[in-house]
Amino acid sequence: GTGSSILSALQDLFLLSKSKVEKQLQIISVLQWVLTFLIMGIACTLILMYILCTDCWAIAALYLAWLVFDWNTPKKGGRRSQWVRNWAIWRYFRDYFPIRLVKTHNLLTTRNYIFGYHPHGIMGLGAFCNFSTEATGVSQKFPGIRPYLATLAGNFRMPILRDYLMSGGICPVNRDSIDYILSKNGSGNAIIIVVGGAAESLNCTPGKNSVTLKNRKGFVKLALRHGADLVPVYSFGENEVYKQVIFEEGSWGRWVQKKFQKHIGFAPCIFHGRGLFSPNTWGLLPYSKPITTVVGEPITIPKTDNPSQKEVDFYHSMYVDSLIKLFDKYKSKFGLPETEVLEVN
């Protein structure tokens, strides 16, 4: 009757409104992360300097004193917060794309691990969501394993940003930090290294599956020195969420990017996503394309205090083969044709 029709209409309206609210929350969650990635470090530094010049200078002075006292904490495993890692905002972040974490093998809590994450993409969205938050259930899928996402050490010199990063279990990608986690922090640790780094980000573009890996062997040497097992990780869709202007080798644009990469540690990219209010306009928001991160089978690595180049090359070759097999096994399941080949540069 009329009553049931009205009730049905109200239910449809409620569900529609709820869907719109959730979509807006997803957009807000991603926007705050993009702004954090791009400007939080510089913004917090400028704000702190401004406060020092005001009547509230004592607050800034106290924080700077704490900063000096706490300076080496990022090198010693950081200061993760399960509360921050479980924020509801990360679940909205996950659902925007959406992002999924796929486990293929169990990991022993009696071992330590180095995950090689590929590809870098523009911002490493999959790496952050899967390993610096609990949105995709990394602790449930790999019980007893503590993930540490490694990023540029320069980020930990920025006030406030350093504390925010550490709360998610993010650490500097330098030898001191990695040595500490793998040798003085017990077992069950997994350091996630985006192996291709800034160089790989320069070539990421939708429809392209390529990794910068042939001459990246430092992570293998670290694994041998600590007897940490290597785990290949591939994120299908990481390159699809932004469009980038690719400069050809030898062009002035690529020259500028490589100079930045060499002297500062990151390469400036010219990229765009969708607009804040419409997916049909350009903006800083990534496109809502699915990202599926597949964690492969661990490669058992022996502990060798001074590994030879021959040993490094051998296990590096094993790692490359394992990554290619992982890609080939899962590519058709996540939207790629069987003919797609992973390009290893």
- Measure the CA–CA gap between 302 and 299, rounded to whole angstroms: 10
Query: Which residue has 């694994």 as its token pair?
Result: 223
Give φ, ψ of 190 to 5 degrees: -130, 115
268, amino acid identity: P
Structure tokens at 341: 């080949």
User: What DSSP string describes 196-236?
Assistant: THHHHHTT--TT--EE--TT--HHHHHHHHHTPEEEEEEEE
Nearest Cα residue to 222 out of 230, 232, 214, 233: 230
What pLDDT is attached to residue 271?
Answer: 87
Nearest Cα residue to 118 out of 267, 261, 238: 238
- Measure the CA–CA gap between 282 and 274, rounded to whole angstroms: 5
What pLDDT is attached to residue 259?
Answer: 78
- Measure the CA–CA gap between 114 and 125, rounded to whole angstroms: 19
Structure tokens at 241: 């969420």
Query: Which residue has 């996402």 as its token pair?
Result: 149
What pLDDT is attached to residue 185?
Answer: 86
Q: String of b and e for 297-308 (b: at least 16 CB within 10 Å)? A: ebbebeebeebe
228, amino acid identity: A
Angle at 299 between CA 296 and CA 304, to 5 degrees: 150
- Measure the CA–CA gap between 241 and 238, rounded to whole angstroms: 6
- Measure the CA–CA gap between 119 and 234, rounded to whole angstroms: 7
Tens-level pLDDT at each residue, the chain (345 residues): 555 666 565 465 555 577 888 999 999 999 999 999 889 999 999 999 999 999 999 999 999 999 999 999 999 999 999 999 999 999 999 999 999 999 999 999 999 999 999 999 999 999 999 999 999 999 999 999 999 999 999 899 999 999 999 999 999 999 999 999 999 889 999 999 999 988 888 888 899 999 999 999 999 999 999 999 999 999 999 999 999 887 777 787 778 877 777 766 667 788 899 998 888 899 999 999 999 999 999 999 999 999 999 999 999 999 999 999 999 999 999 989 999 999 999
**Contact assessment for residue 170 and residue 121, using Cβ atoms and an 8 Å cutoff:** no
Which residues 6+ apart lie within 8 Å of 291 measured at CB? Answer: 97, 98, 99, 100, 125, 126, 129, 235, 236, 237, 238, 240, 241
What pLDDT is attached to residue 199?
Answer: 83
Structure tokens at 63: 């924080």
- Measure the CA–CA gap between 60 and 253, rounded to whole angstroms: 39
What pLDDT is attached to residue 193?
Answer: 97
The structure's pTM equals 0.90
**Burial of residue 172 (number of CB atoms within 10 Å: 0-12, 13-18, 19+):** buried
- Measure the CA–CA gap between 52 and 205, rounded to whole angstroms: 43
What pLDDT is attached to residue 125?
Answer: 96
Which residues 6+ apart lie within 8 Å of 76 measured at CB? Answer: 177, 180, 184
